[in-house]
């Protein structure tokens, strides 16, 4: 049931918007099944990089190689806000990707229900987004991304707008889901704490996205819970990331 | 009933004031009939007025329905590309700027005396707000959701029916609300020159200096406009109450 994640190789990626070059000559290798956090100052091209990987924005030059190569419907994207369809119930929102891919109604309902249960929303399936809290909406958004069993999950500062306790809970849930499913995860954030807590590897981009400032493997346990947040191990990793960020800030 | 009360008070006050002004001799009765005379005419001429109301209703409702269908379809067409918008939107604006009273004689020449002229007049008078509001609703669809649909390979018809039309629904309904009143005006203008209904009743009564009958017919026309408005409000309530702030008290 668990499908392995995909591996990615980005080579000499460049992307400009008009005169503004946001990514220049960026190369990065991502191992299959890795949990990678991408950090960087605002405007450094993190989100653009994620959109290039998702196929939503084409790079001006450079190559993106994905192994195994057919990425059609294997990736999923979680945006900065939940971006649900407000006229649909939670269940219909979670089932949307399957619906668009042409999966029949009975199967997509069953799969959407199972995925909602995984994010702790089994009881909310017939509610509408307007009736949910911000944290619950983000859970629906996460379920919508996971419902296709993606082999690559891309998240663009997904929990930034949530209160801290909700964010802590969702961090732990996301980490557990990653362990259960073995997909490749790329998590873009500007929060050092969140990057260190979630990822196995953190990459800090330079101010103008021209390159990788720091590429660090995080020496932390595989299974993580909120106790880790106060541990000295996490503090060491955060300090390393903070140092690199400060030099770029 | 309680909701209708605030609207009934100004009506009663104006009616009573008017009655008093005419009876006391401040306003001559041949210019403004006393409301009691209008009521008498309404009762006395009810068969004629009611038949006229039915005809006007038919013309206005058919014209409105054509505007709704045609306006939404045309806006969908316009939304398909910027070039198409540039090429055709100016001609849509024509419908708004053309003085309906000035082209009504032409409509009579084209469509002859009768219902077809009335429907055409109601249609021309009411289509523009449907086009403009639908287009603006479709064009302001959340870009993240458009990306999401693209990510899962949604066909353009799936994107239209599952995303763009529902997302534009609040604005479509605003357009229809405006169009309802304009369709009644358009129908009456059409009847002035080439039809039978409240418009022709007004026209004939005017030449006979029967201001009481003019007022009775105008009153019925506004009741028709209100009914159409109320109908669209009910549709709006049913369509949006689950998800849109405008219908959630």
Q: ipTM of this model?
A: 0.90
| pLDDT at residue B1, rounded to an integer | 58
Q: State how far the Cα of A210 lies from the Cα of A27, in Å rounded to an integer.
A: 9
Name the helix (H) or strand (E) containing B133: helix B115-139
Chain B residues in contact with A72 (beta carbon < 8 A): 153
Report yes or no: B151 at the A interface, CB cutoff 8 Å.
yes
> pLDDT class for A232, splitting at 50, 70, 90?
very high
Cβ of B163 within 8 Å of Cβ of A85? The answer is yes
Instruction: Kindly tell me if the per-residue pLDDT of A121 is higher than 70.
Output: yes
| pLDDT at residue A2, rounded to an integer | 45
Report yes or no: B147 at the A interface, CB cutoff 8 Å.
yes
**Å from A89 to nearest chain B CA?**
9
| pLDDT at residue A217, rounded to an integer | 93
CATH hierarchy code of domain B49-247: 1.10.3720.10
Map out the domains of chain B as residue ranges: 49-247
| pLDDT at residue B70, rounded to an integer | 97
Between strands A152-156 and A201-205, the pairing is unpaired
Listing from the earlier edge strand, what are the strands of the sheet with A61-67?
A20-30, A7-17, A61-67
pLDDT for A160-215, tens place per residue? 888 999 999 999 999 999 999 999 999 999 899 999 999 999 999 888 766 888 89
Instruction: Kindly tell me if the per-residue pLDDT of A1 is higher than 60.
Output: no
In chain B, DSSP finds a helix count (H) and a strand count (E) of: 11, 0
Contact between residue B124 and residue B100 where contact means Cβ atoms under 8 Å apart = yes
| pLDDT at residue A73, rounded to an integer | 61
Q: State how far the Cα of B142 lies from the Cα of B155, in Å rounded to an integer.
A: 17
Q: State how far the Cα of B119 lies from the Cα of B66, in Å rounded to an integer.
A: 9
| pLDDT at residue A4, rounded to an integer | 79
Phi/psi for B98 (5° steps) reads -70, 130
Cβ of B144 within 8 Å of Cβ of A83? The answer is yes
| pLDDT at residue A44, rounded to an integer | 79
Cβ of B147 within 8 Å of Cβ of A56? The answer is yes
Instruction: Kindly tell me if the per-residue pLDDT of A72 is higher than 70.
Output: no
Count of CA atoms in the C-beta half-sphere (13 A) of B153: 11
Q: State how far the Cα of A226 lies from the Cα of A15, in Å rounded to an integer.
A: 38
Chain B residues in contact with A153 (beta carbon < 8 A): none
Chain A residues in contact with B243 (beta carbon < 8 A): 86-87, 128-130
- Give the tokens for residue B185: 């005006």
Percent above pLDDT 90 for chain A: 71
Count the neighbouring beta carbons within 10 Å of the beta carbon of residue B108: 20
Count of CA atoms in the C-beta half-sphere (13 A) of B211: 9
Chain A residues in contact with B142 (beta carbon < 8 A): 83
Written as tens digits, the pLDDT of chain B (249 aa) is: 567 788 888 989 999 998 999 889 888 888 888 999 999 999 999 999 999 999 999 999 999 999 999 999 999 999 988 899 999 988 888 877 888 888 888 999 999 899 999 999 999 999 999 999 999 999 999 999 999 999 998 999 999 999 999 999 999 999 999 999 999 999 999 999 888 899 999 999 999 989 999 999 999 999 999 999 999 999 999 989 888 888 776
Query: How large is the average pLDDT for residues A4-21?
Result: 89
Domains and CATH numbers, chain A: 7-74+151-248 (3.40.50.300), 84-149 (no CATH)
The DSSP output letter for A6 is: P
Q: State how far the Cα of A171 lies from the Cα of B188, in Å rounded to an integer.
A: 64
């Amino acid at each position: 049931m668990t499908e392995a994640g995909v591996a990615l190789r980005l080579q000499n990626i460049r992307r400009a918007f008009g005169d503004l070059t946001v990514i220049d000559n960026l190369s990065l290798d991502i191992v299959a099944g890795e949990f990678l956090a991408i950090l960087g100052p605002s405007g450094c091209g993190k989100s653009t990089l994620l959109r290039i990987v998702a196929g939503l924005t084409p790079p001006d030059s450079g190559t993106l190689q994905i192994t195994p190569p057919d990425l059609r419907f294997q990736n999923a994207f979680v945006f900065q806000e939940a971006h649900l369809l407000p006229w649909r119930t939670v269940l219909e929102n979670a089932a949307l990707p399957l619906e668009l891919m042409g999966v029949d109604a009975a199967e997509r309902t069953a799969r959407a229900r199972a995925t909602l249960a995984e994010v702790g929303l089994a009881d909310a399936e017939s509610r509408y987004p307007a009736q949910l809290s911000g944290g619950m909406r983000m859970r629906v958004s996460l379920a919508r991304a996971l419902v296709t069993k993606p082999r690559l999950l891309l998240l663009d500062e997904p929990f930034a707008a949530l209160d801290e306790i909700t964010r802590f809970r969702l961090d732990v849930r996301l980490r557990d889901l990653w362990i259960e499913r073995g997909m490749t995860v790329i998590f873009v954030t500007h929060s050092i704490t969140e990057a260190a807590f979630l990822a196995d590897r953190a990459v800090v981009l330079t101010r103008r996205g021209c390159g990788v400032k720091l590429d660090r493997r995080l020496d932390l346990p595989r299974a993580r819970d909120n106790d880790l947040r106060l541990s000295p191990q996490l503090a060491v990793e955060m300090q390393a990331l903070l140092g690199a960020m400060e030099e770029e800030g | 009933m309680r909701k209708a009360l605030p609207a009934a008070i100004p009506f009663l006050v104006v009616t009573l004031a008017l009655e008093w002004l005419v009876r006391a001799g401040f306003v001559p009765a041949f210019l403004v009939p006393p409301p009691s005379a209008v009521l008498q005419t309404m009762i006395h001429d009810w068969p004629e007025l009611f038949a006229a109301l039915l005809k006007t209703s038919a013309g206005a409702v058919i014209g409105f329905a054509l505007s709704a269908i045609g306006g939404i379809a045309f806006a969908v067409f316009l939304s398909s590309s910027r070039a198409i918008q540039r090429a055709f939107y100016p001609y849509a604006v024509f419908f708004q700027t053309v003085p309906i009273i000035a082209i009504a004689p032409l409509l009579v020449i084209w469509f002859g005396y009768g219902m077809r002229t009335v429907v055409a007049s109601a249609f021309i008078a009411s289509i523009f707000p449907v086009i403009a509001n639908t287009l603006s609703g479709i064009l302001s669809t959340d870009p993240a959701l458009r990306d999401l649909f693209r990510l899962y390979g949604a066909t353009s018809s799936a994107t239209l029916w599952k995303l763009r039309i529902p997302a534009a629904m609040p604005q479509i309904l605003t357009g229809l609300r405006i169009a309802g009143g304009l369709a009644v005006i358009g129908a009456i203008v059409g009847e002035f020159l080439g039809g039978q209904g409240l418009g022709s009743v007004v026209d004939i009564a005017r030449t006979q200096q029967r201001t009481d009958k003019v007022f009775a017919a105008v009153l019925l026309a506004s009741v028709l406009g209100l009914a159409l408005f109320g109908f669209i409000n009910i549709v709006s309530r049913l369509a949006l109450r689950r998800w849109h702030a405008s219908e959630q008290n």
